[in-house]
Amino acid sequence: MTARTVMVQGTASSVGKSLLVTALCRMLRQDGWRVAPFKAQNMSLNAYVTPDGGEMGRAQAVQAEAAGLVPSVDMNPILIKPEGGARAQVIVLGKPIGSVDAFDDRERRADLRRVVAESLARLREEYDVVVIEGAGSPVEVNLRDRDIVNMHVARLADAPVLLAGDIDRGGVFAAFVGTMELLEPGDRARVAAFIVNRFRGDVSLLKPGLDFLEERTGVPVLGVVPYIPRLRLADEDALSLEARLHRRPARQDEIEVAVVRLPLISNYDEFEPLEHEPGVVVRFVDEATEVVDADLVILPGSKSTMADLAWLRESGLPEAIHARSKRGAPVLGICGGCQMLTQRIDDPDHVESTALTSASGLGLLEARTRFARQKTTSRVVARPSGRGFFAEDVPRDARLGGYEIHMGRLEATDANGAVFEVLERNGKAERSVDGAVGCGGAVVGTMIHGLFENDSLRAGVLRALRRRKGIADPVSHRAIPTKEQELDRLARVVRESIDEERFGRIVGL
């Protein structure tokens, strides 16, 4: 049986398409359907590594988890990772096929359309329903002939379209009407309903606008979904990062974590578990003055280590980071951030930089970085080595899950200075080491993403920071919802906000 399909498109980027697809996947699973998510092409620097080492968009991985599935690259067959300017790395079915300067080659696009069609067909053969997500807006008229993710996929799947708009940004009625006006007649007929997203207030006040919208377009409103506060689910959109900038500094009785906002920052969603901890303020910063008094400074992952390192030097941040290390204030580098903290970065094959073959790192870790053509993408299980500023607060027998996505290899000059011992890689037993420690344990670098998802490590790091600041651990921890609980909360809110009977008719259930 070929699966039924439904597609969520948006009037613009960052209107909440990803979370709506997540909610619909959860709802359909709760109702007993075998459901899978799909997004033909995703442009994001927040990536997920599948159990077999494939790379895909983080949002589709969360959607798969909502559907009760192990994420598969067929759910996001094409991932585009910007590298600065017009350059981007192209990942097809989980593996990089190279970097391009302009992603509009017609021959390649024809091949990618075939990949999209084959991935969608495989999913439709295996599941009852496929919930498809679009990208940006379907009416970018300058890109219409190159579309492989919006109405092209809706036609391919013969999918009814739910058009979502974000009322919190303003102008949602104009956005709905304008989108409908710019759609080709055949594509306009595919729009089965509107969803008004992120509404704050009394829904009855919207009724005149909703009535106008239906009268003007002939398309019904499926529902009005409220803004959902403190939802602990990864968000791939760049706008979600902008919202995190310039948060208030921490009070004296709070811990402040300053994450350096690199221009090509990647996988920044891994810091969300810290954001939900009581008494912790996570700030994304880009000025040297903002890291001076922070309790922990994090250099995060980067899609282009060499380019972001050059930006870092221009910002004046290295001087402030060096000053911290001299007084023993903690600094943590993750993946690209770890590479920047090493003595030297070599790129002999110009994997990352077309101009440079080497650059000096910040010199705070006894290690070097060398870029290779082969990309490492793996899920790992590791345990602490007993080194670094958090060593005495994280149990040595803790099994920590995480993932690696990098092309730069860390070559430690101190064989005994590793931070973690790797026990498993992609489900297979392994014995290797990860990371490096410098400045008497104040500076720690690791190539493993996702470590703060581990309760024991997160609690240990915060305990070490509180002790250093002279404040006590909270007497009672606020219960942090699990991902399953958050997925259920999202589904419940959306279920209560839409016309379920109409939705069932649209999908053909």
* Digit-coded pLDDT (tens) for 434-479: 999 999 999 999 999 999 999 999 999 999 999 999 998 875 555 6
Only one residue has tokens 């990864």, namely 234
**DSSP assigned state of 433:** E
335 is catalytic: yes
Do the domain assignments include residue 476? Answer: no
Q: Does 132 lie in the same domain as 153? A: yes
Cα-based distances in Å from 285 to 243, 244, 256, 324, 330: 12, 9, 12, 16, 16
Q: Does 71 lie in the same domain as 53? A: yes
Q: Does 258 lie in the same domain as 149? A: no
Q: Supply 335's token pair.
A: 């993946």
Q: Does 489 lie in the same domain as 402? A: no
Do the domain assignments include residue 382? Answer: yes
pLDDT at position 238 is 47
Give percent of the chain above pLDDT 70. Answer: 93
- As a whole number of angstroms, the distance between CA 165 and CA 210 comes to 12
- As a whole number of angstroms, the distance between CA 177 and CA 194 comes to 11
- Phi-psi region for residue 136, left (φ > 0), alpha (ψ -120 to 50) or beta? left
- As a whole number of angstroms, the distance between CA 342 and CA 445 comes to 9
Do the domain assignments include residue 478? Answer: no
Structurally, the chain folds into a number of domains equal to 2
The catalytically annotated residue of 25, 152, 335, 338 is 335
Length of the chain: 509
Q: How many other CB atoms are found less than 10 A from the CB of residue 105?
A: 12
User: Under a CB-based contact definition with an 8 Å cutoff, are residues 22 and 233 in contact?
Assistant: yes
Q: Does 357 lie in the same domain as 284? A: yes
- As a whole number of angstroms, the distance between CA 234 and CA 418 comes to 29
pLDDT at position 162 is 98
Do the domain assignments include residue 109? Answer: yes
Q: Does 262 lie in the same domain as 219? A: no
Q: Over 380-422, what HEC string results?
A: EEEEECCCCCCHHHCCCCCCEEEEEEEEEEEEECCCCCCCEEE
**Which domain does 110 fall in, by range?**
4-232+485-507
Closest CA to 487 of 80, 42, 97, 28: 28
- As a whole number of angstroms, the distance between CA 264 and CA 42 comes to 16
Do the domain assignments include residue 474? Answer: no
Residue 226 pairs with which residues in a beta bridge? Answer: 199
The catalytically annotated residue of 152, 406, 439, 449 is 449
Q: Does 296 lie in the same domain as 177? A: no
Do the domain assignments include residue 499? Answer: yes
Do the domain assignments include residue 307? Answer: yes
Rg (alpha carbons) of the chain, rounded to whole number? 23
Closest CA to 449 of 254, 303, 324: 303
Q: Does 207 lie in the same domain as 95? A: yes
Q: Does 84 lie in the same domain as 111? A: yes
Do the domain assignments include residue 475? Answer: no
Question: pLDDT truncated to tens, each residue of the chain (509 aa)?
Answer: 699 999 999 999 889 999 999 999 999 999 999 999 999 999 888 889 999 899 999 999 999 999 999 999 999 999 998 876 667 888 999 998 877 765 555 667 888 999 999 999 999 999 999 999 999 999 998 888 888 999 999 999 999 999 999 999 889 999 999 999 999 999 999 999 999 999 998 898 899 999 999 999 999 999 999 999 888 786 655 446 666 666 778 888 899 999 999 998 988 889 989 988 889 999 999 899 999 999 999 999 998 888 899 999 999 999 999 999 999 999 999 999 999 999 998 888 777 777 778 888 899 998 898 888 888 889 999 999 999 999 999 999 999 999 998 887 888 766 678 899 999 998 899 999 999 999 999 999 999 999 999 999 999 999 999 999 999 887 555 567 888 999 999 999 999 999 999 999 999 99
- As a whole number of angstroms, the distance between CA 207 and CA 214 comes to 11
Question: Burial code of 126-139, b = ≥16 C-beta within 10 A, e = fewer?
Answer: ebbbbbbbbbbbbb
Q: Does 225 lie in the same domain as 123? A: yes
- What DSSP line would sit under 467-499, residue for residue? HHHT-PPPSSPPPPPPHHHHHHHHHHHHHHHB-
**DSSP assigned state of 300:** -
Q: Does 407 lie in the same domain as 272? A: yes
Check which CATH number belongs to the domain holding 432 and give it: 3.40.50.880
Q: Does 223 lie in the same domain as 159? A: yes
User: Under a CB-based contact definition with an 8 Å cutoff, are residues 78 and 120 in contact?
Assistant: no
Check which CATH number belongs to the domain holding 209 and give it: 3.40.50.300
